[in-house]
């Protein structure tokens, strides 16, 4: 018997995606098993700059680095669509939500017990990938990370998933270089076993969440804004 799908706003999916991604990332940070390859450069920048600039937050590092990535995208493509600016809006909204989630997690007891950290990490990666799946069901511009991969691969006729892997490997190399530069040679900060686990599980978990959402929800636009975000 086919399950009757419930109508769900694609605009609500955008908001829910941002909020759940932020909460999941904050939980992974609290677990301290290592961040994902994509998030690690911003996390390392936050760890370093916050030592001398107490006001500098994880969220700030996220949208500042994403702004630089958008500039790089424009330079590589030698053009800049106005809709790309909304990718930065998404980055700022995510950064603000991330700072709120980090504050929320700071209210919980910070323990080094391994089982608690494992719970934080497991919940974090599950919630984060669920947030990504929600964002896949909306028409709003994604964060600069996803936009960069999508636009570069389309412009040069590259396989999207293969280029995504290369992008992730590059992010890992950049993260290792930043960790050594910021904290000393051989010092791995923000990069640990959890980084490798997320690299292996992110794709399958996002696919799992997407199947669940597609099986139970019928995503519909409530606002007539899609035309502003699709097409050249």
- Token pair recorded at residue 216: 């139970």
Those residues whose C-beta lies under 8 Å from the C-beta of residue 87, and which sit 6 or more positions away, are 66, 70, 141, 142, 143, 144, 147
CB 102 within 8 A of CB 58: yes
Rg for the chain, CA atoms, rounded? 18
Let me know: does 167 contact 148? Beta carbons within 8 Å: yes
Q: Are strands 6-9 and 217-220 parallel, antiparallel or unpaired?
A: parallel
Nearest to 135 by CA among 70, 168, 90, 101: 90
- The confidence score (pLDDT) of residue 68 equals 92
Are 173 and 37 in contact, with CB atoms under 8 Å apart? Answer: no
Predicted local confidence at residue 179, as pLDDT: 92
Residues β-bridged to residue 220: 9
Residues 6+ positions from 39 with CB-CB distance below 8 Å: 25, 62
Q: Please list the residues that pair with 8 across neighbouring strands.
A: 219
pLDDT at res. 128 = 93
Q: What is the pLDDT of residue 3?
A: 63
Residue pair 43/190 in contact (Cβ under 8 Å)? The answer is yes
Name the residue ranges covered by the structural domains of the chain.
Answer: 7-219
Give me the pLDDT at residue 43, please: 94
> Under 8 Å CB-to-CB from 144, ≥6 apart: which residues?
66, 67, 69, 70, 73, 87, 88, 91
Nearest alpha carbon to residue 127 among 31, 219, 215, 221: 31
Total residues found in the chain within this entry: 232
Query: CA-CA distance, 110 to 146, in Å (whole number)?
Result: 32
Positive or negative: CA dihedral 144, 190, 98, 65? negative
What's the pLDDT tens digit per position in 133-182?
A: 898 888 888 888 888 888 888 888 888 777 877 888 888 889 999 999 99
Q: List phi, psi (to 5°) of 34.
A: 110, 140
pLDDT at position 21: 93
Residues with pLDDT less than 50, the chain: 1
Which helix (H) or strand (E) segment holds residue 18: the answer is helix 10-31
């Amino acid at each position: 018997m086919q399950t009757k799908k419930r109508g769900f706003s694609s605009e609500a999916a955008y908001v829910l995606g941002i909020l759940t991604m932020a909460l999941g990332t904050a939980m992974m940070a609290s677990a301290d098993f290592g961040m994902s390859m994509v998030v690690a450069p911003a996390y390392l920048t936050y760890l370093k700059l916050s030592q001398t600039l107490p006001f500098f937050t994880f969220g700030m590092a996220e949208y500042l680095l994403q702004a630089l990535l958008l500039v790089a995208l424009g330079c590589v493509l030698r053009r800049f669509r106005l809709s790309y600016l909304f990718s930065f809006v998404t980055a700022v909204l995510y950064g603000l939500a991330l700072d709120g989630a980090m504050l929320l997690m700071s209210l919980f007891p910070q323990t080094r017990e391994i089982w608690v950290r494992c719970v934080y990490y497991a919940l974090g990666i599950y919630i984060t990938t669920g947030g990504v799946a929600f964002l896949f069901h909306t028409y709003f511009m994604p964060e600069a990370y996803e936009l960069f991969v999508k636009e570069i691969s389309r412009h040069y006729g590259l396989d999207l998933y293969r280029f995504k892997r290369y992008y992730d490997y590059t992010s890992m190399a950049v993260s290792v270089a930043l960790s050594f530069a910021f904290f000393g040679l051989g010092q791995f900060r923000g990069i640990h076993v959890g980084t490798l686990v997320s690299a292996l599980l992110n794709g399958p978990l996002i696919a799992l969440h997407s199947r669940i959402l597609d099986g139970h929800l019928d995503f519909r636009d409530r606002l007539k804004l899609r035309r502003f975000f699709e097409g050249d």
